[in-house]
Amino acid sequence: MSNFNWKRIVVKVGSALIAPSKKGCSSHYLLSIAQFIVKCRARGVEVVLVSSGSVAAGTGYFAQSPNSVPLKKAMAAAGQTEMMATWDKLFDFPTAQILLTHADLRNRERYVSVKETLFELLKNGILPVVNENDTITTDKLKVGDNDNLSAMVAASVNADALIICSDVDGLYDKNPHKNDDATLIKTVTHIDATIHAMAGGATSDVGTGGMKTKIQAAEKAVSHGISTFIVNGFTDQSFNALLEGYNPGTHFQPFEVPMQEHKHWLTHTSNAQGEVVVPENFDVALDEQSEKLCSQDVVAVKGDFAVGDTILVRKKDGTKLAKAKSNYSSCLLSFLAEQDDRAFAADFENTTGPIISENNIAILEE
């Protein structure tokens, strides 16, 4: 890879590539991806594979279409083994299955545990195959799409590159399935509202992630310093180009100064369990003076959170200021914020400690 000095990459493959007919797995489109992974490993590049497809692979075992959540979970359970077997037969080295929910990633201790497992597998030459655990996940626990999951996994293993396979060559200025004059965007240096506006919905009737989620994933990855590519997974030309060191699709350039790992986890992986609302004229620079946030600044506490949970700090007008680890429960913070005796609340906080510590906060940019 003459132009790409990668030591570790994450490759994301969607359901449309795994089970294009929705009647079980097919290796038709997977051969070139598998060969790419084999060649990367032969060059000393570590690879993590994030693979969708369990529901699509399991659909053929059932008489009815996936019209309910329990049925989809059953399909995922039946299809996961077939999906893993399909990947396993394409490699002459061992693979390992890792099934995750968002609860495994938003909890810091479990997140670190996942990281340790992935690194141990890579150190021993085993290919990790990651998928969302659709058999047990709920709306509250799910990531929702494997594009964003792949970015979280890429951040957890400190990958150099994230390669997201799509059904088009990359990001276009308009939907290429509907507009013949759509132009491919080869390089994106900054993901802003204009880039998000170019992303439409899902074009495949098999997968759940369209270009919108791929842009979200790219945004997560590049902020961690990870080069991100959206490429056409249906043609081997994409992977030949990558092996030769060329960009075959859209390249999202990484931040020159990546976010600190813990702040990246707070911003992009951990879900806020509640909100602390401050006045619209709140002007404390939280990144420098987070410990000066006190209960007298709080106009409302929303949600039910415990000590150590992630919270969102926002203004009353909706402006998001930061995500942070809370040193107070929602119950206690509500109690202090409602006190007429400000001296009592201030004395309590001086004794117990700040609501937010400066080393457990991530500033958000609108």
Poorest-pLDDT segment among 4-8, 62-66, 237-241:
62-66
Looking at the fold, whether 218 and 290 belong to one and the same domain comes out as no
Q: What percent of the chain has pLDDT over 90?
A: 52
pLDDT in the model for residue 205: 42
3 falls within a domain: no
When pLDDT is averaged across residues 311-338 and rounded to a whole number, the result is 92
Contacts of residue 95, defined as CB under 8 A and 6 or more positions apart, other chains included, come to 49, 84, 87, 88, 126, 127, 128, 129
| Spatial separation of the C-alpha atoms in residues 305 and 273, rounded to whole Å | 6
Neighbour count for residue 88 (Cβ, 10 Å): 14
Report how far residue 119's alpha carbon sits from residue 132's, in angstroms, rounded to the nearest whole number.
Answer: 19
Two structure tokens written together for 285: 């620079």
Residues 296 and 260 in one domain: no
Domain hosting 159: range is 8-264
How is residue 148 written in tokens? 């964003």
pTM above 0.85, yes or no: no
Tens of pLDDT, residue by residue over 8-66, are 999 999 988 988 877 778 888 999 999 999 999 999 999 999 998 888 888 888 888 77
Which DSSP string do the residues of 261-288 spell out, in sequence order? HHHHHHHHTSPP-EEEEE-TT----HHH
Q: Are residues 258 and 335 in the same domain?
A: no
How many Å apart are CA 265 and CA 158, to the nearest integer?
12
**177 and 212 fall within a common domain:** yes
- Rounded (10°) CA dihedral 36, 38, 40, 43: -140
Using the 3D structure, point to which of 264, 287, 302 is the last residue of a domain: 264
- C-alpha dist (Å) from residue 38 to 42, 106, 125: 6, 32, 12
The count of structural domains within the chain is 2
User: Residue 1 is encoded by which pair of tokens?
Assistant: 């890879």
Q: 2 in a domain, yes or no?
A: no
Distance (Å, whole) CA 111 – CA 108:
5
Instruction: Give yes or no: residues 290 and 237 share one domain.
Output: no
Asked if pLDDT for residue 208 goes beyond 50, the answer is: no
pLDDT band at 365 (very low <50, low <70, confident <90, very high): low
Contact 141, 160 (CB under 8 A): no
**Percent of the chain with pLDDT strictly greater than 70:** 93
CA dist 131 and 69 (Å) reads 18
**Distance of alpha carbon 91 from alpha carbon 106, whole angstroms:** 32
Regarding whether 253 and 302 lie in a shared domain, the answer is: no
- In this structure, is residue 354 part of a structural domain? yes
**Comparing 122-126, 333-337, 347-351, which segment has the lowest mean pLDDT?**
347-351
Quick one: which of 203, 144, 145 has its CA closest to 172?
A: 203
- Residue that the structure tokens 């690879």 belong to: 47
pLDDT band at 170 (very low <50, low <70, confident <90, very high): very high
Query: Is pLDDT above 80 for 209?
Result: no
pLDDT at 30: 94
pLDDT attached to residue 204: 44
d(CA 313, CA 320): 6
Closest CA relative to residue 89, chosen from 120, 129, 125: 129
Same structural domain for residues 87 and 155?
Answer: yes
Q: Last residue of a domain, which of 264, 285, 310? A: 264
Q: Are residues 240 and 356 in the same domain?
A: no
Write the CATH number for 347.
2.30.130.10
Helix axes 236-243, 30-42, angle to 10 degrees: 10
| 140 compared with 348, residue with greater pLDDT | 348
The structure tokens 């990633």 sit at 105
The per-residue pLDDT for range 79-128, each reduced to its tens digit, is: 999 999 999 999 999 999 999 988 888 888 899 999 999 999 999 999 99
Would you say residue 203 has pLDDT above 50?
A: no
The token pair at 102 is 């968002």
Residue 138's pLDDT band (cuts 50, 70, 90): low
Taking a C-beta distance cutoff of 8 angstroms, is the pair 249, 231 a contact? yes
Do residues 25 and 16 make contact, with C-beta atoms less than 8 angstroms apart?
no
Q: Is the pLDDT of residue 207 over 50?
A: no
Quick count: other Cβ atoms within 10 Å of Cβ 268?
22
Q: Is the pLDDT of residue 255 over 80?
A: yes
pLDDT of residue 200: 64
Residue 329 has pLDDT above 90, yes or no: yes
Cβ 80 vs Cβ 135: under 8 Å: yes
Average pLDDT, the chain: 88
Verify that 289 and 257 share a domain, yes or no. Answer: no
Whether residues 214 and 232 fall in one domain: yes
Q: Are residues 136 and 206 in the same domain?
A: yes
Are residues 122 and 98 located together in one domain of the fold? yes
Mean pLDDT of 296-322: 91
**Bigger pLDDT: 271 or 186?**
186
CATH number at residue 228: 3.40.1160.10
- Please name the residues in contact with 141: beta carbons below 8 A apart, sequence gap of 6 or more: 101, 102, 103
pLDDT tens-place string over residues 281-297: 887 777 666 677 888 88
